[in-house]
């Protein structure tokens, strides 16, 4: 296993006081909001429940490791889909505002340079309880400290300066 590290929240920052709806965890002081899940019952009524975690919307810089990874994936998808007649993937990429040169490389236009929408997240339960991660549209998650610093520097530094997080060996096996 490689020697990668993650950031983990200190226990008191994400501690939830049971049976006290008015006591907010300290993590909410740093701009994180409770994640919500929607459940629909048989009658079609929706119920919102806490997803046992918190999230904060962030913008990922176009020069970060995550943005470069996303750029490569968009280029790969476009290369596979550009010749197909009715490709939903290609159409979706183009509708988002991405543009490509003749070789299929992503042009760093205003859409790309404006950054990517993502969430900085932490879960209160489970195997990765307390571990800070980046969530990209519910499909991809990044946990390692190097990627977090590259992609969400100011947000991570705010938490580090506040002594809310610490580095820990990343164990995803």
Residue 62, exposed/middle/buried by CB under 10 A (0-12, 13-18, 19+)?
A: middle
Shortest CA distance to 56 belongs to which of 146, 107, 141, 121? 121
Say what the pLDDT of residue 1 is: 39
Say what the pLDDT of residue 172 is: 58
Say what the pLDDT of residue 18 is: 80
| Helix 88-95 × helix 65-81 angle, to 10° | 130
CB contact at 8 A, 117 and 30: no
What is the pTM assigned to this prediction?
0.81
pLDDT in tens, the chain (173 residues): 356 889 999 999 999 888 766 678 999 999 999 999 988 888 888 888 889 999 999 998 888 888 888 888 889 998 998 888 888 888 888 888 888 888 888 888 887 777 788 999 999 999 889 999 999 877 788 889 999 998 899 999 999 999 999 999 876 55
CB contact at 8 A, 141 and 165: no
- For residue 103, give Cα distances in angstroms to 6, 10, 13, 107, 110: 37, 48, 49, 10, 20
Partner residues linked to 5 by β-bridges: 169
Number of H-type helices and E-type strands within the chain: 6, 7
């Amino acid at each position: 296993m490689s020697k990668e590290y993650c950031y983990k929240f200190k226990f008191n920052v994400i501690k939830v006081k049971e049976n006290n709806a008015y006591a907010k965890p300290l993590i909410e002081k740093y701009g994180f909001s409770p994640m919500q899940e929607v459940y629909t019952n048989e009658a079609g009524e929706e119920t919102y429940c806490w997803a046992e975690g918190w999230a904060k919307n962030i913008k990922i810089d176009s020069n970060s490791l995550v943005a470069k990874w996303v750029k490569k994936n968009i280029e790969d998808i476009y290369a596979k889909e550009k010749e197909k007649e009715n490709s939903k993937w290609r159409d979706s990429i183009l509708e988002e505002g991405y543009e490509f040169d003749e070789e299929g490389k992503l042009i760093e236009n205003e859409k790309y340079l404006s950054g990517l929408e993502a969430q900085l997240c932490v879960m209160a339960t489970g195997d990765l309880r307390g571990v800070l991660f980046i969530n990209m549209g519910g499909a991809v998650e990044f946990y390692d400290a190097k990627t977090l610093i590259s992609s969400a520097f100011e947000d991570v530094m705010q938490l580090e300066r506040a002594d809310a997080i610490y580095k820990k060996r990343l164990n995803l096996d």
